[in-house]
Amino acid sequence: MSQPLRFALIGTGRIGQVHAASLHRSEDAVLTVAADALLPGAERTVARYGGRATSDALAAIAADDVDAVVVASPTPTHVDLITAALDAGKPVLCEKPIDLDIARVDAVRERARSAATPVVLGFNRRFDPHFTELRRRVRAGEIGRLEHLSITSRDPEEPPSEYVAVSGGIFRDMTIHDFDTARSFVPDVVSVTAVGLRQFSAGIAAAGDFDAAVTTLVGAGGESVTITNSRHAAYGYDQRIEAFGSAGLLEVGNVTPTLVRSTSAAATASGEPYRRFFLERYRDAYELELAAFIATVRGQDTSANPSPGFEDGRAALLLADAAEVSAREGRTVAVDLS
């Protein structure tokens, strides 16, 4: 049996805690060092999950007892930390986006493309078991030729205003996940048309951003994708996909704690509330994302559901940039993801 991979975790905030828990639950991984510019956060993490704490991310990446790196720090640090991992010859799993500026992404693109070690982007939804099964059945031809994909993604409530101010906007922060999901079905997108909406949040509007958006993508083969986003949904975390093809339709609905439904004089076919938080909805996806990364590092066959790489992260950012232009200028934007 292979020895567990020894990991450095960079960033111990909310998403860092998700990765720390996944590393702890995996039989194929061990947290060796947690690094955070705010040392107490790293110290609390290792007190719970083991390893040592440091405020020096570069030293953690270069450490001799580290085999692989997870980057869960703020977005402006991602490019430098990916570069440091490449310099150290360490495989890296980095949270999305690579950066908010495509120029910074392109500055390290060739380095990432030619690297002998994997660079994987944290688009965890590719590993959601329900979405994975939908994609498998679409690829198997169950609905014939895919003609339209509909993605619904709504958060339970808007993020704090201080987060909105540095998020890069709804398309780079929220829709970027949906852009990657769309490309896992329709990889060759050639145009983007987006409408940004200000429907309910004065705070988001004051930041110059949109609180809802509807985006249409067109693929090179004529496929269409519609992405519906909102920063709030009174009924919970709304995550659905519908795939329509020449021979039928497949869909994934929202996830509830159980599938039990109740019908009575008070309500018809009522069920339990949807998950309220992305960490609840996608816990399995994060664990499967880590397992796929470890398999990639070990050179195992992951062709059935490969981890998204640097080029996928770049493509998602290009689509987000195009959607931003489209929404603000009221026009369709042609894209070239090559």
Give the residue numbers spanning the domain of 91.
5-95
Same domain, 67 and 210: no
The dihedral over CA atoms of 91, 312, 319, 208, expressed in degrees to the nearest 10, equals: -20
Q: Which long-range contacts (CB under 8 A, 24 or more apart) does 127-132 make?
A: 127/284, 127/285, 127/286, 127/288, 127/289, 127/292, 127/305, 128/282, 128/284, 128/285, 128/288, 129/284, 129/285, 129/288, 130/252, 130/255, 131/181, 131/241, 131/252, 132/305
Q: What gap in Å lies between CA 119 and CA 297, rounded to an integer?
A: 10
Does 133 lie in the same domain as 26? no
Q: Structural domain tally of the chain? A: 2
Residue 249 and residue 182 share a domain = yes
Q: Are residues 228 and 304 in the same domain?
A: yes
Residues 246 and 155 in one domain: yes
My answer on whether 132 and 86 are in the same domain is no
Q: What is the pLDDT along the chain (338 residues), one digit of tens a residue?
A: 689 999 999 999 999 999 999 999 999 999 999 999 999 999 999 999 999 999 999 999 999 999 999 999 999 999 999 999 999 999 999 999 999 999 999 999 999 999 999 999 999 999 999 999 999 999 999 999 999 999 999 999 999 999 999 999 999 999 999 999 999 999 999 999 999 999 999 999 999 999 999 999 999 999 999 999 999 999 889 999 999 999 999 999 988 777 677 778 887 776 777 766 566 788 899 999 999 999 999 999 999 999 999 999 999 999 999 999 999 999 999 999 99
The partner residues of 88 in beta bridges, in order of sequence, read none
Note whether 88 and 135 are same-domain residues. no
pTM assigned to the model: 0.94
148 and 267 belong to one structural domain: yes
305 and 232 assigned to the same domain? yes
